[in-house]
Amino acid sequence: MNKFFVLCVVLFLLNSNAIAQEGPHVPCVGCDTLVHAPFPEPGSWYNPDQSGSGLNMEVQNGILVGYYYSYDIDGHPEWQLFSGLLVRSEQQGIQWELETQLQHFQDGNCIGCEYVPPAEPTLGPTIKLEFKQRNYMRLTIGENSSQFFVPIIYGSSGFAYFSKQTPYVFPEYGGRSKDWVLVLKPNTDPQSDWLWESHLMPILNGSISMGGPDQGRLTYHSWPYSPPPGPDVVFKLITCELTPESNQPGCILSFKSKEYIIPIANMSDSRFFGEAEDGSTVEGFRLGYD
C-alpha cells in the first residue's frame, strides 16, 4: 500500500479523534432573538468525549463556585477550586462568562485524621467558562484547546432524539416525578412581580412522531390541574422539531395562546427556560428534585 496514502489516513484519524474530543455540538435555534439569559445549571459537568474529568459547580446570586477535577502528569487525581462573579457576555452567542485562576490546595489532614488547615493555595492557570446556553458551555484552561461541556445526566432517563444533528440528550419528563410548576413572567413596563403566574401541571414523557428520531417531531404532552380536565383534555405543551431553515432541532412551548422559544440546551431533567417574542418568559421547575 502506498506509504503516503497510509500517512494521510493516519493523520486524518488523529485529526478526527482530536475534533471528537472537543465535546458535543449543541445548536441554539432562535437564540439570536433572545434577550434573557438564565443562570447555568448547577451540578456536575463534563465533556462526554473525555469522561473521567470534569467539574462541579454551584451558582448563588450570580456567584459561581466550582471544583475542577482532573489528573496530574503522573495520572494522580487532582482537584482545584475556582470562583467568581458571572458576567453578561458581549460576545455573540455567549450568555455568561467567568475568567479566573484555579487554586490548588494541599497539606491538609487525611480522612478521619486530626484536623489540619491546608496551606495557602497555589495559583494555577486561568480557567474560562463561557455559557452558550443554560446547559452548554465552552471551557478553556490556560493555553489549552477549548472543550465543550454539558451537565451529567443521572437518576433519570433521556434520549438523543436528533442524534444526526447533535448528541444532546433530551430529558424524559414523565415517570414518578412528573409534576411541574410553570412560572410565567410577562414583559411589562414598569416591571411588576404581581403579574407573575404559576401553574401546577404534569408533563408526560416525550413521544416521537412523523418518521422516528432525526426526522420527526418530539412532543411533551400535559393537561392542567385546574380547572379539572375532562377525560380527553390533553394538549401539546412542548414541541421539538427540525427547522426548515437550518435543519437543526428547536423547541417551542405553547401555553395560553403564547409561544416561547426553548433552545434545546435550556432543557434539563429538572428545569427548563423559554422566552416569547415580546420578552415574556416561562420557567419550569420539577417538583421533588430540589
In a domain, 20, yes or no: no
Would 1 be classed as within a structural domain?
A: no
Least Cα distance to 178 among 208, 201, 207 occurs for 201
Work out how many domains the chain is built from and give that number: 2
- Return d(Cα 137, Cα 128) in angstroms, integer: 10
Alpha carbons within 13 angstroms on the beta-carbon side of residue 94 total 18
Residue 36 contacts residue 281 (beta carbons within 8 Å) = yes
Give the pLDDT confidence score for residue 29 in this predicted structure. Answer: 94
pLDDT in tens, 183-205: 999 988 777 777 889 988 888 88
Handedness of CA 261, 264, 265, 269 (dihedral sign): positive
Residue 54 CA to residue 23 CA, distance in Å, equals 12
One-letter amino acid of 218: L
Same-domain pairing of 266 and 233: yes
Residue 3 lies in a domain: no
Bridge partners (DSSP) listed for residue 186:
none
CATH code, domain carrying 59: 2.40.128
**Separation of alpha carbons 223 and 255, rounded Å:** 11
Q: Which three cell numbers stand for residue 262?
A: 426553548
Q: Whole-prediction pTM value?
A: 0.86
Domain co-membership, 141 together with 62: yes
Question: 61 in a domain, yes or no?
Answer: yes
Does a structural domain hold residue 95? yes
Same domain, 140 and 182: no
| Residue 119 within any structural domain of the chain | yes
Task: State the pLDDT at residue 288.
Answer: 78
Could you tell me if 109 and 205 lie in one domain? no
Residues 134 and 83 in one domain: yes
User: What residues make up the domain containing 146?
Assistant: 27-151
In this structure, is residue 225 part of a structural domain? yes
Asked whether residue 141 falls in the same domain as residue 33, the answer is yes
Low-confidence ranges of the chain (pLDDT < 70): 1-20, 176, 210-215, 224-234, 289-290
How much is the pLDDT for 183?
94
Can you give the pLDDT at residue 189?
Answer: 77
